[in-house]
C-alpha cells in the first residue's frame, strides 16, 4: 500500500498546481477539434492531475475527490456521449459519426467537440480508476 508523502512542500505545491493542470486539460479537450490535442490528450492530462493528488496526498485524497462509483459513471457517460452522437448521425440517415448531417442549429464543430469531450471523460476516468486499482491492490 502506498502512503501519502511526508513532505508538506510536495503536498502543498501539488494541491496548488492541480487546478491549473485541470484547466489546461480542459483547454486541450475544448480546442482539440481545431488545434493540436483533443479528447485523449486532454483526458490524460486530467487523469494525471488526479494521480498527482494521489502520489502527494495518498489514495484517500483521490477517493475523497473522485469516489469509485463516480469514476464508473464518468466512464459510462463518456462512452454514452460518443455513441450518442454517432447514433444521432445514424438516425439522421448518414454514417456513424458523420457530422455533416447534424441540424443547422448544431454546427459540425459541436459534433466534433462532443466526440472529444466523450473521449476525454472516458480516458480521464479510466486512468484514475486504473491508478486506484493498482495502488489499492493487495
Kindly state the average pLDDT of the residues 111-134.
92
pLDDT of residue 48: 96
Kindly report, residue by residue over 2-41, the tens digit of the pLDDT: 555 578 888 899 999 999 999 999 999 988 777 777 899 9
Kindly report, residue by residue over 24-35, the tens digit of the pLDDT: 999 999 887 777
- Within 8 A by CB and 6+ apart from 98, the residues are 89
What whole-number percentage of the chain has pLDDT above 90?
A: 55
Rounded-to-integer distance, Cα 38 and Cα 105, Å: 23
The conformational region for residue 103 under phi > 0 = left, psi -120 to 50 = alpha, else beta, is beta
Q: How many CB atoms lie within 10 A of CB 109?
A: 12
Q: Does the structure show a pLDDT above 70 at 59?
A: yes
Which helix (DSSP H) or strand (DSSP E) does residue 78 occupy?
Answer: helix 68-91
| Residue where the block lists cell 448544431 | 106
CB 101 within 8 A of CB 86: no
DSSP conformational letter for 101: G
DSSP per residue, 21-57: HHHHHHHHHHTTTTSS--HHHHHHHHHHHHHHHHHHH
- Pairwise pLDDT comparison (47 vs 113), residue with the higher score: 47
Kindly report, residue by residue over 63-118, the tens digit of the pLDDT: 998 898 999 999 999 999 999 988 988 998 889 988 778 776 666 677 888 889 99
Kindly state the average pLDDT of the residues 48-66.
91
pLDDT of residue 28: 94
Rounded-to-integer distance, Cα 17 and Cα 94, Å: 44
pLDDT of residue 125: 96
Amino acid at each position: 500500500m502506498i502512503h501519502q508523502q511526508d513532505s508538506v512542500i510536495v503536498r502543498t505545491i501539488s494541491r496548488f498546481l492541480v487546478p491549473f493542470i485541470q484547466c489546461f486539460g480542459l483547454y486541450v479537450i475544448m480546442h482539440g477539434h481545431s488545434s493540436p490535442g483533443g479528447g485523449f490528450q486532454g483526458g490524460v492530462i486530467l487523469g494525471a492531475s488526479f494521480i498527482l493528488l494521489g502520489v502527494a496526498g495518498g489514495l484517500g485524497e483521490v477517493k475523497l475527490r473522485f469516489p469509485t462509483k463516480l469514476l464508473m459513471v464518468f466512464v459510462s457517460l463518456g462512452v454514452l456521449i460518443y455513441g450518442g452522437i454517432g447514433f444521432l448521425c445514424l438516425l439522421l440517415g448518414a454514417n456513424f459519426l458523420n457530422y455533416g448531417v447534424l441540424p443547422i442549429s448544431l454546427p459540425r464543430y459541436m459534433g466534433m467537440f462532443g466526440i472529444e469531450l466523450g473521449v476525454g471523460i472516458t480516458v480521464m476516468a479510466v486512468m484514475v480508476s486504473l491508478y486506484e486499482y493498482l495502488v489499492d491492490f493487495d
